[in-house]
Amino acid sequence: MTQFWSDADRHLIRYGGPFTPEIIERAEGSFVYTSDGRRILDFTSGQMSAILGHCHPAIVETVRRQIGTLDHLFSGMLSRPVVDLARRLAASLPEPLEKVMLLSTGAESNEAAIRMAKLVTGRHEIVAFARSWHGMTHAAAAATYSAGHKGYGPSAPGNIAIPVPNPYRPDFITPEGELDWRRQLDFAFAMVDAQSTGSLAACIVEPILSSGGVIEPPLGYFAALAAKCRERGMLLIVDEAQTGLCRTGTWYAFERDGIVPDILTLSKTLGAGLPLAAIVTSAAIEQEAHEKGYLFYTTHVSDPLVAAVGNTVLDVLEAQKMDQRARDLGDFLNAGLRKLMDRHEVIGDVRGRGLMQGVELVADRNTKESDDVLGKKVTQRCLELGLHLNVVQLPAMGGTFRIAPPLTATREELELGLSILDQALTEVA
């Protein structure tokens, strides 16, 4: 073990926060297992991706079969798994979303979507939330405001941030003391218009801001945002990297708001932990992009191996009615978290939808002062007790736990996680 960490320190490039101080040997279902035999309950589904748990038997069987028949092709070649997955994704979505491109990562899908929006509109300005996370490639990183700007020089010109409608910390307030999101949205787009050079191309949003602190804008907000975009001839890109495919209790999180994006991006959950992503748009937008010479030729576009996995993911989600399961388990988990909130003053807020829940720790419930130091300590103690939690540790975002167990998790596993979190909060706080 000493040699392992010595080699890691010597040879690995550090790319974010510190590495988890465990050597993971294997994983199964809702658990990962360390080299010293410890079992750790995974409340983040890997990188918020493994919605069917680790090493799901159907996924394992598909990979074994597909790797032995058709794994990777020249990017201009097509295979049955790719066309099948495109057809099935289109069938799961409202009209006019029917044209699909399969890629590898969330950043790549957002890059492709932004590039398409710029080409189709002939404009270049991109609007995004001030706590957004859309990826670390060029255009995606320029539209990411929760981290990653300092020290890298100028981003592409034309990126504009708007405030996040956060009901827990309202900036515009109604007479009743609640978030006045309509007034905030009007203010936001007044600022957008003031900064724009007349070249607004698109607005890209997450239905629930994950790295931004598990913040869900109020019902009605996205419909009003879509109207703001239409008024300006902008396209609306919805990034469902973490919320798509049943995680929030519906197949797609945008369904709650009665909107249909111009371009939808999917990733993480689509491959259930394997590198698969997609953009989906209308035939009209795809046709215009094609006529203007849309170019997004990558090494792993339309790869058959992961496309076959994507089809298996859809098989399991459909057969086991995972949208309903996520709703039921999400209600159970939320109720358990609210019971913890009743017992622990350091929990300031519980929020989220389905099996995507957020728990924010505060130093004071009245001032809502965030306590990210406590968040780090609770995270560490949970790991020691056998629970992996992810706490948002980005600047000014406080100690917010992002809790996203697999959709295959059992109530007993959720109860175990709640029990460990309860113990950690008791011991640390």
As a whole number of angstroms, the distance between CA 247 and CA 408 comes to: 11
So what's the pLDDT on residue 296? 98
Across the chain, mean pLDDT equals 96
Contact 376, 393 (CB under 8 A): yes
Point out the residues that are catalytic: 133, 206, 239, 242, 268, 402
In which residue are the tokens 């932990």 written? 273
Mean pLDDT of 3-10: 96
pLDDT interval class at 139 (50, 70, 90): very high
pLDDT digits (tens, 9 = 90+) for 218-261: 999 999 999 999 999 999 999 999 999 999 999 999 999 999 99
Contacts 24+ apart (CB under 8 A), 312-319: 312/58, 312/59, 312/62, 313/51, 313/52, 313/59, 313/245, 313/269, 313/270, 313/271, 313/272, 314/85, 314/88, 314/89, 314/92, 314/245, 315/58, 316/52, 316/56, 316/58, 317/245, 317/246, 317/251, 317/407
As a whole number of angstroms, the distance between CA 186 and CA 199 comes to: 19
pLDDT digits (tens, 9 = 90+) for 331-363: 999 999 999 999 999 999 999 999 999 999 999
For 159, phi then psi, to 5°, come to -100, 130
pLDDT digits (tens, 9 = 90+) for 407-426: 999 999 999 999 999 999 99
Helix, strand or coil, per DSSP, at residue 282: strand
As a whole number of angstroms, the distance between CA 225 and CA 242 comes to: 21
Q: Within 10 A of 290 (CB to CB), how many other CB atoms are there? A: 13
So what's the pLDDT on residue 391? 78
Q: Using only C-alpha atoms, what is the Rg of the chain?
A: 21
So what's the pLDDT on residue 394? 64
Helix, strand or coil, per DSSP, at residue 183: helix
pLDDT interval class at 313 (50, 70, 90): very high
Comparing 34-43, 144-153, 185-194, the range with the smallest average pLDDT is: 144-153
Instruction: Kindly state the percentage of the chain with pLDDT values over 90.
Output: 94
pLDDT at 398 over 60: no
186 contact partners, CB below 8 Å, separation of at least 6: none
pLDDT interval class at 16 (50, 70, 90): confident
357: β partners: 352, 403
Both tokens of 214, joined, read: 């598990």
So what's the pLDDT on residue 429? 82
So what's the pLDDT on residue 397? 57
Contact 421, 382 (CB under 8 A): yes
As a whole number of angstroms, the distance between CA 242 and CA 41 comes to: 19
Domains in the chain and their CATH numbers? 2-56+321-428 (3.90.1150.10), 70-319 (3.40.640.10)
pLDDT interval class at 181 (50, 70, 90): very high
As a whole number of angstroms, the distance between CA 247 and CA 207 comes to: 12
